[in-house]
Amino acid sequence: MLTIASKATRTCDGVSRRSFLQVGALAGLGVSLPSMLAQRAVQAATGNRAGDVNCIVIWTQGGTSHHDTFDPKPEAPVSVKGEFGVIDTAVPGVQFAEILPRFARELNRFGVLRGWNPGNASHGVADQHVLSGRRFNPGIHYPTMGSVVSHQKGFKTVMPPYLQLGTSLDNRFGGGSSGILGLEFNPFTLTADPNAANFTVRDITPPAGMAGERVQRRRNVLSMVEQLQKQSSVQPKQFDALDENYKTAFDMITASETKRAFQLELEDPRLRDAYGRHRFGQSCLLARRLIESGVRFVTLTDGGWDTHQNNFKALKDGRIPPVDQALPQLVMDLEQRGLLDSTLVVWLTDFGRTPTVNSASGRDHWGSAGFAVMAGAGIPGGAVLGATDAEGGKVIRNEYSSDDIVATIYHKLGLPPDLHVQAPDGRPVLLNEGKLIKEWV
C-alpha cells in the first residue's frame, strides 16, 4: 500500500483524518512520498546530464569469504585452504575458487580488489561503514552512498533516485539509511521477489480491483480536503507547495514508465534464463531496468552469507551459484546495451572470514582482509589488485580501506572528494576522507 501522507493532525485514536485516502503504504520509502519528492522542484534542473554515471551495488550481507571466492590459498594447509580447489581465470597466473567458473571466464570484465582491509568484523557496524565510507559515530549518522547520490543529484525521471532491492541490510547503526541528510533521501525499498510468478510492486501497482478511475477519485477527494484546509490556513504558500508534491506523487504512481520499469515479463525469456530464474538473478535484471528508467543508485541486497557453520556446503550449493551466474550476466548485458561506461557495478560485503576453518566446518568474522569487485565506468577489466599473506589473514600489498572504496565510487559518479553537507544543527560534515584507488581511476 502507498499512503499519500503529510503532517496532518491525528485524532485521539491515532487515525489520521486522511487515512481513508490511502492508495497503499509507503513502507517501501520509509517516509511519506510527498516529502521525498519535494526535492524534485529544486533538483529537476540536473536532468540526465551527459557524463552522468549511475551505480549498482551488490551487498552480500553477513561477510562473504575471500578465501573461498577470489583469494584462494591452494598451497596452504587444509585447515586454511578449505574444501575447494582452484581454477584458472582469463588472466594468466590468477586463480579463483572452483565454485566461481563464470567469474573466472569473464574476469576481463571486472576488477578484483584483494587488498581490502575492512578494519571491522562486526555486523551492523559493517553495513554502516562499508556503505558510507565513514566509521560509525553515534553523534553523527553518516549517510549511505545511495542517499548521498540522491541528495546531490536528485531526480532524472519520475523514478526515485535511490532504490534498494531486498531487506538483507542491517540498519541498527544506520546502515543503508540517509542519516543526517533527512528521511526524504532514504531508499525506496522493494521487498517483493522479482522471480515470483505474481511479482508486483506494492508501492506502484494498485491493489487488485483498484482501477485507475478509483485512484483518480481519491486524488479528487484529497484535493477537496486540502482546499478546505487551505481556506482556513494562514500559510497558503506552504499548501501550494504541498499540492505540487502530492501531484508529483500521483504522477509517479500513474506514470507509464514507472509501471514499465517493473514489468520483467517484457524481457526476452532467454535473457531472463541467462540471468537465472531465481531471486538474485531476476533482481540483477530488475536493477538494469531501473537504471534504464532513471534510477541513479540501486543497492541489491542478498542475505545468508554469515557462514559460521557449513561454510563450504552453503557457498557451493546455495549462495555462490546465483551470483556467479547473474552478476557477470549483468555486466555483459549492460555492455551490450551501451550502458556499461555509464554504470558502475560493485560487489561489497561486511568483511572477510577467518583464515582457519572452525570445528563446525565454517569460518568466523575477520576484519583484516576481504575482497571487493568493480566493473564498468572505466574500471580496468582483468585487474586483480592487492595481495594477502600466505594464509589470507592480512593485506601485504596495495592495501585499501572501505573509505577508499567509497571515495573511488564517488569519484566515478562525479562527486567531489571533499564533499560536505550540512547537519541538522548547521555544522558542515565531511562525507568521506578516503583516498582513491589510483590503479582504477
What's the pLDDT band for 1 if we cut at 50, 70, 90? very low
Cβ–Cβ under 8 Å, residues 432 and 420: no
The torsion angle over the Cα atoms of residues 403, 406, 411 and 417, rounded to 10 degrees, is -40
- Residue 219 pLDDT > 70, yes or no? no
Q: How far is CA 15 from the centre of its chain?
A: 33
Cell output for 183: 528521511
Q: Residue 255: its pLDDT value, please? A: 75
Q: What region does 274 belong to: left with phi over 0, alpha with psi -120 to 50, or beta? A: alpha
> Whole-prediction pTM value?
0.84
- Using 50, 70 and 90 to split pLDDT, how confident is the model at 46? very low
Buried b (16+ CB within 10 A) or exposed e, 330-347: bbbbbeeeeebebbbbbb
Report, as an integer, the average pLDDT of 41-67: 77
Are 84 and 97 in contact by the 8 Å Cβ rule? The answer is: yes
* DSSP SS3 for 410: helix
Cell of 249: 506523487
Between residues 361 and 39, which one has the greater pLDDT? 361
315, 316, 320, 323: which is closest to 280 by C-alpha? 323
DSSP 8-class letter at 19: G
What pLDDT was estimated at residue 217?
A: 64
C-alpha cell of residue 60: 552480500
Inform me whether the pLDDT recorded for 13 exceeds 60. no
- SS3 annotation, 205-263: CCCCCCCHHHHHHHHHHHHHHHHHHHHCCCCHHHHHHHHHHHHHHHHHHHCHHHHHHCC
- For residue 425, pLDDT beyond 60: yes
Distance, in Å, from the CA atom of 226 to the CA atom of 437, rounded to the nearest integer, reads 52
Q: Which comes out higher in pLDDT, residue 63 or 425?
A: 63
pLDDT tens digits along 310-342:
999 999 999 999 999 999 999 999 999 999 999
Out of 32-46, 175-189, 413-427, pick the least confident. Answer: 32-46
**Contact yes or no for 76/347 (Cβ under 8 A):** no
On average, the pLDDT of the chain sits at 85
Q: What is the mean pLDDT of residues 388-397?
A: 98
CA dist 376 and 354 (Å) reads: 30
pLDDT value, residue 250: 62
Backbone angles phi, psi at 365, to 5 degrees: -65, 145
Range with lowest mean pLDDT among 1-10, 150-159, 292-301: 1-10
Q: Is 79 helix (H, G, I), strand (E, B) or coil?
A: helix
φ, ψ for residue 395, nearest 5 deg: -80, 135
How far apart are alpha carbons 189 and 263 in whole angstroms?
A: 17
Count CB neighbours of 155 within 10 A.
Answer: 25
- Tell me the C-alpha distance between 337 and 117, whole Å: 34
Query: ∠ CA 258-163-324 to the nearest 5 degrees?
Result: 105
Alpha helices in 294-422 (DSSP H): 311-314, 320-336, 402-412
Pairwise CA distance, residues 48 & 293, whole Å: 11
Helix (H) or strand (E) holding 87: strand 86-88
**pLDDT band at residue 175, thresholds of 50, 70 and 90?**
very high
Report whether pLDDT(58) > 60. yes
CB neighbour list of residue 371: distance below 8 Å, 6 or more residues apart:
64, 66, 69, 70, 71, 112, 113, 114, 116, 349, 352
Per-residue pLDDT for 65 more than 50? yes
How far is the C-alpha of 136 from the C-alpha of 237, rounded, in Å? Answer: 40
The closest of 356, 392, 302, 313 to 63, measured between CA atoms, is: 302
pLDDT tens, 229-258?
555 555 555 545 445 455 556 666 667 778
Q: Provide the pLDDT for residue 155.
A: 93
Amino acid 61: pLDDT: 98
pLDDT greater than 80 at residue 18: no
Residues of the chain with pLDDT > 70: what percent? 76
pLDDT at 5: 32
CB 366 within 8 A of CB 420: no
Report the range of poorest mean pLDDT among 16-20, 44-48, 258-262. 16-20
Domains of the chain with bracketed CATH:
1-8+16-38+206-261 (no CATH), 54-199+276-440 (3.40.720.10)
Measure CA 310 to chain center: 28
Contact 55, 343 (CB under 8 A): yes
Residues 6+ apart with CB under 8 A from 375: 109, 110, 111, 331, 340, 344, 345, 381
pLDDT at 24 over 60: no
At 85-116, the pLDDT tens digits run: 999 999 999 999 999 999 999 999 999 999 99
